[in-house]
Chain A
């Protein structure tokens, strides 16, 4: 019967802004700070057209309890989105996610090394499982198996991405 107060965690609506404020001053490679449209070293191939389903990253990014899209990494190297199967992450059931990773100028990042972990800061524990990326699905999509959240409340899912020699981390924040 642990005491739990989810309100101590940042709310989802402020999540993206918080990341920008905390990390906006950090050093980042010059080419990644350039305006979108510049060629990115991370893009595997030119993207034919940006998918209308993927919103542009930044403060306009959307988030809710079951989908979170267009979240920039700490240093702005990548932009990530996740979806869950089932659509709403279930409590205490091992399930799968698909991560979509892009550059800030919306080129899909393929062939990346991706590590996924979760944390429940109010309780001082992580996920009961160690999820693994089991497939690079192409087009910047990665299948993650072994996702599990053992209780409702505020969770952070950390995704560490290494591609083209650059490593950066995205924090997804969930209220389950």
Chain B
């Protein structure tokens, strides 16, 4: 194997899982690093009672055995979601959550699906009652006393600012202070789930073992990748330009880019980040809002939010490539089934249906695409690897 140049070694080191720092503090969530909150959040994450039909939990779409994705083109909860399920792994490092970045914290993200009619399909009034019934002690240990929800007139079983007409009507009839009491419980559910998710990080892969050996000048260890995979790696950090967006140890730059992925057949093109900007600015659960625990100075991402929506038409967040072989179908709505077809898309660089693609065609042979695919398959973590 020809040696890597010093610049290439620096790039490899930057992609290595060992370069992943501790996640940045989340000042918007005062229990982000509280183990008790994480234990409560973990229990709720897997609890299917937190749904309209009692069959959907966070883990329905974020399955641990599939790297916290679902193996589907588009997520399926109560109904079908328009986009593909993103992994939860490593999201403590994300300033923006979801493909369009419409949430700015893990806890705000966790609250979205709970009240989305196509996902959990519930409402915050229902969730507050579930916490009171099943998690009272754990909740109160972390967050203090629950409000007294016993008066069914003031605190209906179904109530929230959702599309369901019964819950919506009930919500509108509640006193503002009672609505706030329920929302406070709902927000704390999100913050507990976030405390659990904060600890979910991808594990080392064969690629990481390879880089570790290279950096330690351990020739034997540097056989962790095959010649074909190493050839793919050289393309990945070189002429294929993959690291423009898939950089850092999570293999994403956490930004938003238009790569001209075709829309789902018979559907309008997804506008992506251009709509996510307004959504996060007006989200009641953003870092600057009253449910956040942060001082506004600490809300760096949203304070310096780039809000010129027209520049982000059709732009989506580059997903992490860790475990990518296990997390198809690919792209924001599962438009492409196989890794090799994803690579063909990047080679061909078609024009975007909405906005302007940043891609330019790549002069890569079929053999080189196969090498890139082989490399991508080396990014799967070892189950139970220390």
Given A123-B358, A130-B306: A2 and B247 within 8 A (CB)? no
CB distance from A6 to the nearest CB of B (A): 10
Separation of A128 and B305 alpha carbons in the complex (Å): 8
Separation of A130 and B241 alpha carbons in the complex (Å): 25
Q: Select the stretch in A12-20, A143-151, A157-165 that faces chain B.
A: A143-151
Residues in B with CB closer than 8 Å to A148 are 304
Given A129-B306, A130-B307, A132-B304: A1 and B254 within 8 A (CB)? no
Q: Is the CB of A125 within 8 A of B303?
A: no
Q: Select the stretch in B155-163, B183-191, B210-218, B255-263 that faces chain A.
A: B255-263
Given A150-B254, A151-B245, A153-B244: A129 and B358 within 8 A (CB)? no
Q: Which residue of A lies closest to B101 (CB)?
A: A128
Q: Decide if B242 is an interface residue (CB 8 Å cutoff).
A: yes
Partner of B360, one of A2, A146, A153: A2
State which size class the interface on B falls in: 20 to 34
Separation of A92 and B245 alpha carbons in the complex (Å): 10
Q: Decide if B361 is an interface residue (CB 8 Å cutoff).
A: yes
Q: Is the CB of B306 within 8 A of A127?
A: yes
CB distance from B183 to the nearest CB of A (A): 29
State which size class the interface on A falls in: 20 to 34
Q: Decide if B173 is an interface residue (CB 8 Å cutoff).
A: no
Q: Decide if A126 is an interface residue (CB 8 Å cutoff).
A: yes
Separation of A126 and B258 alpha carbons in the complex (Å): 12
Q: Is the CB of A128 within 8 A of B241?
A: no
Q: Is the CB of B311 within 8 A of A92?
A: no
Residues in A with CB closer than 8 Å to B330 are none
CB distance from B249 to the nearest CB of A (A): 11
Q: Which residue of A lies closest to B321 (CB)?
A: A1
Q: Decide if A46 is an interface residue (CB 8 Å cutoff).
A: no
Given A2-B244, A127-B306: A94 and B300 within 8 A (CB)? yes
Residues in B with CB closer than 8 Å to A23 are none
Partner of B253, one of A4, A129, A131, A150: A150
Given A123-B358, A126-B311: A4 and B241 within 8 A (CB)? yes
Q: Is the CB of B255 within 8 A of A3?
A: no
CB distance from A30 to the nearest CB of B (A): 37
Q: Is the CB of B346 within 8 A of A1?
A: yes
Residues 100-157 of A contacting B (Cβ, < 8 Å)? 123-132, 145-146, 148, 150-153
Q: Is the CB of B304 within 8 A of A2?
A: no
Q: Decide if B136 is an interface residue (CB 8 Å cutoff).
A: no
Separation of A1 and B244 alpha carbons in the complex (Å): 6
Separation of A151 and B359 alpha carbons in the complex (Å): 14
Q: Decide if B246 is an interface residue (CB 8 Å cutoff).
A: yes
Residues in A with CB closer than 8 Å to B361 are 3
Q: Decide if A91 is an interface residue (CB 8 Å cutoff).
A: yes
CB distance from A158 to the nearest CB of B (A): 14
Q: Decide if B349 is an interface residue (CB 8 Å cutoff).
A: yes
Q: Is the CB of A131 within 8 A of B360?
A: no
Given A124-B358, A125-B311: A1 and B304 within 8 A (CB)? no
CB distance from A77 to the nearest CB of B (A): 26
Contact with A along B293-327 (1 / 0, CB 8 A): 00000001101111110010000000000000000
Q: Is the CB of B349 within 8 A of A130?
A: no
Q: Is the CB of B304 within 8 A of A129?
A: yes
Q: Is the CB of B304 within 8 A of A94?
A: yes
Q: Decide if B328 is an interface residue (CB 8 Å cutoff).
A: no
Given A92-B248, A123-B358, A124-B356: A3 and B241 within 8 A (CB)? yes
Contact with B along A10-44 (1 / 0, CB 8 A): 00000000000000000000000000000000000
Q: Decide if B362 is an interface residue (CB 8 Å cutoff).
A: yes
Q: Is the CB of A123 within 8 A of B244?
A: yes
Given A4-B241, A146-B300: A128 and B358 within 8 A (CB)? no
Instruction: Give the one of A2, A3, A130 with max B CB within 10 A.
Output: A2
Given A128-B256, A150-B255: A1 and B240 within 8 A (CB)? yes
Given A3-B362, A128-B256: A151 and B304 within 8 A (CB)? no
CB distance from B349 to the nearest CB of A (A): 7
Separation of A3 and B346 alpha carbons in the complex (Å): 9
Q: Is the CB of B304 within 8 A of A145?
A: yes
Q: Is the CB of B241 within 8 A of A146?
A: no
Q: Is the CB of A1 within 8 A of B247?
A: no
Residues in B with CB closer than 8 Å to A2 are 241, 244-245, 257, 259, 358-360
A/B interface sample: 23 pairs, CB < 8 A = A1-B245, A1-B343, A1-B346, A2-B244, A2-B360, A92-B248, A92-B253, A94-B300, A94-B301, A94-B304, A124-B358, A125-B311, A126-B311, A127-B306, A128-B254, A129-B301, A131-B304, A145-B303, A148-B304, A150-B255, A151-B244, A151-B247, A151-B253
B residues neighboring A (CB under 8 Å): 240-248, 253-257, 259, 300-301, 303-308, 311, 343, 346, 349, 356, 358-362
Q: Told that A2-B358, A130-B306, A132-B304 touch, could you supply 10 new A-B pairs with CB distance under 8 A? A: A1-B242, A1-B244, A1-B246, A1-B343, A92-B248, A94-B304, A128-B256, A130-B304, A148-B304, A151-B245
